[in-house]
Structure 1
Amino acid sequence: MTYADRRHAHRRTRAAVALGCLLALVSAACTGGADDPGTSGAKGTAEGPIVVASGLDVTGSGSVRQQLIEEWNRRHAGSKDRQAKLVELPGAADQQRSQLLGALQSGSARYDVVNLDITWIPEFAEAGLISPLPVEESGTADDADFIRQVHATTLWKERSYARPFNTDVGLLYYRPDLLTDADIDPDKQPNANWTWDQLYSTVRTLGLNPVRRDERAGWTTQLKQYEGLTVNTVEAFADAGVHLTDGEGRYSSSPGKLKKGLDSLLDRVGRGRVQPAALSSDETASLADFAEGRAVFLRHWPYAYGALENLMEAKQYAVNRLPGKAVLGGQNLAVTADSPRAEDARALVTFLTSRESERCLLDAGFAATRTSVYGSVPKPCWPRVAAALRPAGDAPKAEATGEGTREGQGTEARRAYIRLLGAALTEAVQRPRTPYYGAFTQVLQSHVHALLAAERPDTAAAADHLDHALRDVFAGR
């Protein structure tokens, strides 16, 4: 019996017990009576707060998610049962996923709303841990305002299980000052639709050939054995026209296709081009290498734009579209299957993903999920939330350097950045959609990292081994 089957059987058992209690007129004995903390009054509706579980806010903006929760609470100050509480889970994404799976499967934690990485939706939906949106709430005009590719991450088997909260897409950051020092005019560099060949050509002109971690490289990214490596690999595969699964999550590649994808990745991160430290770098380390001049180009997420305001002078950095394909990231809000506050939880999710709330997320450094937020006349952020947010970026780290918060690039530059970000999101690609994503990403990371670390990488042999491993993973073995 699958987990979902056991879960449904458990629910039928609970329903039968509850019916027996009612027939026996001893409901108080079964529910715990008026003093039970899970119930409220004669209606039997669950007491608050509505508990939202989420990962940590990486923007350093004063916790925009917490500020949005507080705005909801102010708007429902007269209703104790509709108050909400944010619980932030520690650790990296893989650790957060394990915590949420364990908590929801065992019932050990009472979460009503979970903020899930977009890659986890199929797994949590297939396991019966989150509820599909009511049919009347799907496909509405409001849904049409979400960026199409972003909204697609909420779907599994043609049902929507969540609403897009904040999204992400790979961007290319670069150092105009270092280009100028090498007699390369940054104003003559492509201002849209870079290609990898153009980036490689610029790196050759720079004449960089780093051997040690402290030497300047053409570019850097995140190649440590964690999700960042999966993202970089999928981007390289997508550029080579290699797709690992079909729309139903079934494996659709082959050794020959995998070799093509791995060759594309090796070409991208070959010695002499990428910072040697990239093989052990995550988002924090790669951002530091870029800010401290050890890389001229950087692949990173949108929140880095705000972080750099506090780490560098405005003239020292710029941002552009990532060459080729960029992977979509982000989180979606879903209501847990066992939430006794499901109706209020759905109302909270609607508020947190509203046009005003999405603008708050963008102002804080996240990428917003709605098309209208990137338009010419977006709805403004909730005033009290806007007042509570400090400028997006890792302000505490900037203060630790003794330099304080630097002046940003200005209104026009930010408007240009927002237009660029909105355009990049409309063309982003997804990672494989599968209930076995956790196993998939671990297998991919293990094989790819070993290949990148090899003195003489053999992509044909690596592709053959990876093909066998992925066949098992996507079959659930």
Structure 2
Amino acid sequence: MTPRSRRRGTYGRCPRALAAVLVAVLTLGACDGAGDGGSQATGQPADNGAAEGDIVVASGRDVTGKGGVRQKLIEQWNRQQEDTGSSFRARLVELPGSADQQRSQLLGALQSGSAEYDVVNLDVTWVPEFADAGLVQQLPDDLVDADVIPSVAATASWGGKLYAAPFNSDVGLLFYRRDYLKNAGVTNTELGKGTEWSTVQQLIDTMGDAGRSAQSGYEKGWTTQLAPYEGLTVNGIESFASAVDGLRLTDGAGQYTGSVQDLEAGLKELRDRTNAPYTLGDASRSAEAESLGDFADGRTAFLRHWPYAYRSLHQSLNDQQLGVAPLPGRAVLGGQNLAVTKASKRGTAAKALIRFLTGRDSERCLLDEGFAATRLSAYNDNGLTCATDKPAAPSATASPSPSPTSSAESTDRMPRDKQGRPAYARDTLLPALQNAVQRPRTPLYGAFTQTFTTELRRLYADKPPSELQLAKDLHAKLQRALPHT
């Protein structure tokens, strides 16, 4: 689940600080264009002389707003085409609705054989489905090279073949209020690698009533996304993978491989993490926006969220108030990957566009704007900068000016290192991405996640079943939903 592909909650709450914290922008920077492997590398037909018409890129809504950064990148690529005398131009089409609705729109258009879309921006969990159905083209292997973080690169293939290029990644992180812990008498407010959930719960216990009396608005220890949507699936998989190291509920062919014993252990972990003494009651009705707003409003001291929250929260909280650490246990990968539709008559040019949007400079731009880059060089190459014109990188202690590529309405207060990267990028974000796990990979992911969330919601009923009974029920239903050995 990368912030950019999950549904909003349906419960209509509007936390007071929501407007202040939802200012993150999804910046996809420019990169140098490169040659295309062409039809010989993939076995796909050439462009058949289709040099006219736009390369249409279908994606979800650009959170930077009308004329936002995605549109600016398309315009930049178009200018480069003009400079080289190319007749190709790209055009961005934003799909309305939730992630599920966007997926349905894309499936309908591509299954009908329509060539309306040339490039589609797919959630990482959709890649097996679109590839297995023959809706997207195989891509040249060199589109995903050794510079791409290995865990992220693995989201782009299916059946041993490359069908997409990682565009922006995502991973679960733990955000926390340093000031709340300090006010409760905690001397070491620096959480980091190796922090366990038991440690988080001990800190919550330490705060106790003292936290409520010392902090106006404080209610419970932590919050996350437990509404019946993909957020619950993500929290569940993180618990399952933490409880059973290396647990994979599907194999390389997408067949279900779980057991009642493993499911029971995962359900116990999820129940322990989210039990009432520690978890904000509204978490069971929260998606990303709601949980982010509750944390920013001061109702909790801990939050499980995605990297874009780092920039969002720093608009209203400073470094003495806000901390971020790897999520205890295992965290789930999210993000989006770019693919070329099978029906595209401009496949070669579309692949060149994808190279432009997923190259080294592009990923550095993405990181500079506060999101998870897919390439190691974005984190480690101090000589790499975003290709767009912008002021020199500020120091880690300064309050940097917003990048010209950003359309955020307020000043960018995100802490940065001397190279202009988010201050936590190398030591926290990159290791989290490298150690993250994927959700089950299957062409029937829709059936999996619907079954999974439906059963997990029973944990939060007035009279929940035991972990063993729920594990047996979940096991049986997943066997019906997915092929299995």
TM-score interval w.r.t. the shorter chain? 0.7 to 0.9
Unaligned runs of 5+ in 1: 1-42, 397-403
Which of residues 209, 220, 225 in structure 2 aligns to 1:222?
225
The 8 Å contact of residues 240 and 260 in structure 1, kept in 2 or not, is answered as yes
For 2:126, give the aligned amino acid.
W
Matched, 1:317 2:322: yes
Residue type of the alignment partner of 1:81 = S
CA contact (8 A) 2:68 2:407 kept: no
Structure 2 equivalent of residue 415 of structure 1 = 423
The amino acid across from 1:53 in the alignment is A
For 1:362, which of 364, 367, 370 is the aligned residue? 367
Change in 2 beyond 3 A, CA 1:368/1:236? same
1:179 deviates by 1.0
Paired residues in the alignment total 420
Once the two structures are TM-superposed, the CA of residue 186 in structure 1 deviates from its matched residue by: 4.2
- Give the conservation status (yes or no) of the 8 Å contact 2:415–2:423: no
Shift of 1:114: 0.4
Deviates more, 1:118-127 or 1:196-205: 196-205
| Residues 325, 428 of structure 1: 8 Å contact kept | yes
Bigger mean CA offset, 124-133 vs 200-209: 200-209
Q: 2:239 corresponds to which letter in structure 1?
A: A
Indicate how the Cα distance of structure 1 residues 326 and 224 shifts in structure 2: closer, same or farther if over 3 A, else same.
same
Q: Is the partner of 1:415 in helix, strand or coil?
A: coil
Change (3 A) 1:216 1:392: farther
What residue identity is the alignment partner of 1:165? F
> Contact conserved, 1:64 with 1:364, CA < 8 A, in 2?
no
AA of the residue aligned to 2:187: D
Q: State the Cα distance separating 1:385 from its structure 2 match.
A: 8.0
Task: Give the CA deviation at 1:386.
Answer: 8.4
Q: Tell me which of 464, 471, 474 is aligned to 1:463.
A: 471
Deviation at 1:67, TM superposition (A): 2.4
Quick one: structure 1 residues 442 and 385, their matched pair in 2 at CA, closer, same or farther if it must change by over 3 Å?
Answer: farther
- Partner of residue 457, structure 2: 449
| Contact 2:115 2:343 (C-alpha < 8 Å) held by counterparts | no
Cross-structure match for 1:301: 306
State whether residues 166 and 361 of structure 1, in contact with CA within 8 Å, keep that contact through their aligned partners in structure 2.
yes
2:172 to 170, 180, 189: 170
- Pick the aligned partner of 2:123 from 117, 122, 125: 117
Secondary structure of the corresponding residue to residue 295 of structure 1:
coil
Q: 1:437 aligns with which of 431, 441, 445?
A: 445
* 2:242 paired with 1:239: yes
Distance 1:153 1:370, change over 3 A: same
| Identity level (%) | 50
Aligned to 2:163: 161
The AA in structure 2 aligned to 1:50 is: I
Cα distance in structure 1, aligned partners of 2:278 and 2:142: 46
> Do the aligned partners of residues 385 and 92 (structure 1) sit closer, same or farther apart at CA in structure 2, a change above 3 Å counting?
farther
- Which of 177, 180, 183 lines up with 2:182 in the alignment? 180
Please show how residues 200-279 of structure 1 align to structure 2 within 5 Å: 200-207=201-208, 216-241=219-244, 242-279=247-284
**Aligned in 2, Cα 1:148/1:60: closer, same or farther, shift over 3 Å?**
farther
Residues of 1 paired with 2:199 and 2:310: CA distance?
A: 22
SS in 2 for 1:73: helix
Equivalent residue number for residue 25 of structure 2: none
Q: Which moved more, 1:306-315 or 1:359-368?
A: 306-315
In structure 2, what residue type is equivalent to 1:196?
W
User: Which secondary structure does the structure 2 equivalent of 1:433 belong to?
Assistant: coil
- Secondary structure of the equivalent of 1:366? coil
Q: Tell me the alpha carbon deviations over residues 191-214 of structure 1, each in whole angstroms, 9 at most, x when there is no partner.
A: 33311111111111111699xxx7
What SS does the aligned partner of 2:125 have? helix
Pick one of 457, 474, 477 that aligns with 2:482: 474
Query: Are residues 378 and 471 of structure 1, via their aligned partners in 2, closer, same or farther at CA, if it must alter by over 3 Å?
Result: farther
1:345 pairs with 2:350: yes
| 1:69–1:167 CA distance, 2 compared to 1 (3 A) | same
What is the Cα deviation at residue 389 of structure 1? Answer: 6.6
AA paired with 2:200? Answer: L
Structure showing greater radius of gyration is 1
Paired residue for 2:435? 427
Q: Quick one: which amino acid aligns to residue 419 of structure 1?
A: D
Between Structure 1 and Structure 2, which shows a larger proportion of helix residues?
1
Separation (CA, whole Å) in 2 of partners of 1:97 and 1:322? 29
Give the structure 1 partner of residue 288 of structure 2.
283
| 1:223–1:282 CA contact under 8 A, matched in 2 | yes
1:129 aligns with 2:135: yes
Deviation of residue 439 (structure 1)? 1.1
Q: Provide Cα deviations, 1:219-269, integer angstroms capped at 9, x if missing partner.
A: 110001111110000000000114311222111112222111111100010
Equivalent of 1:144 in 129, 143, 146? 146
In the alignment, the residues of structure 2 paired with residue 179 and residue 335 of structure 1 have an alpha-carbon distance, to the nearest angstrom, of 49
State the match for 1:197 in structure 2: 198
Match of 1:274, SS state, is coil
Partner-residue secondary structure (3-state), 1:340: coil
Q: How far apart in 2 are the matches of 1:289 and 1:406?
A: 21
Counterpart residue identity of residue 252, structure 2: G
Shift of residue 69, structure 1, vs aligned partner: 1.5
Alpha-carbon spacing, 1:287–1:249, altered in 2? closer, same or farther (3 Å): same
Asked if the contact 1:310/1:394 (under 8 Å) is kept, the reply is no
Contact 2:115 2:344 in 1 (8 A): no
1:391 and 1:309 map into 2 onto residues whose CA distance is 19
Q: Secondary structure at the match of 1:87?
A: strand
- 1:296-342 residue CA offsets vs partner (Å, 9 max, x unmatched): 01000001111112233343211111111000000110000000000
8 Å Cα contact 2:69-2:405 kept in structure 1: no
Unaligned 5+ runs, structure 2:
1-47, 393-400
How far residue 61 of structure 1 moved from its aligned partner, in angstroms, is: 12
Distance 2:405 2:194 in 1: 26
User: What is the CA–CA distance in structure 2 between the aligned matches of 1:268 and 1:231, rounded to whole Å?
Assistant: 13
Structure 2 distance, partners of 1:386, 1:164, is 28
Residue aligned with 2:126, SS: helix
Question: 1:5-24 alignment to 2 at 5 Å?
Answer: none
Q: What residue in structure 1 maps to residue 105 of structure 2?
A: 99
State the secondary structure of the residue aligned to 1:334. Answer: strand
CA contact (8 A) 1:240 1:261 kept: yes
- Supply the distance in 2 between the matched residues of 1:379 and 1:204 (Cα, whole angstroms): 44
C-alpha spacing 1:363/1:438, structure 2 compared with 1 (3 Å): same
**Alignment check: 8 A CA contact 2:370 2:422 kept:** no
Letter in 1 for 2:156: T
Let me know the Cα RMSD of the aligned residues.
Answer: 2.7
Between the aligned partners of 1:206 and 1:282, the Cα distance in structure 2 is 25
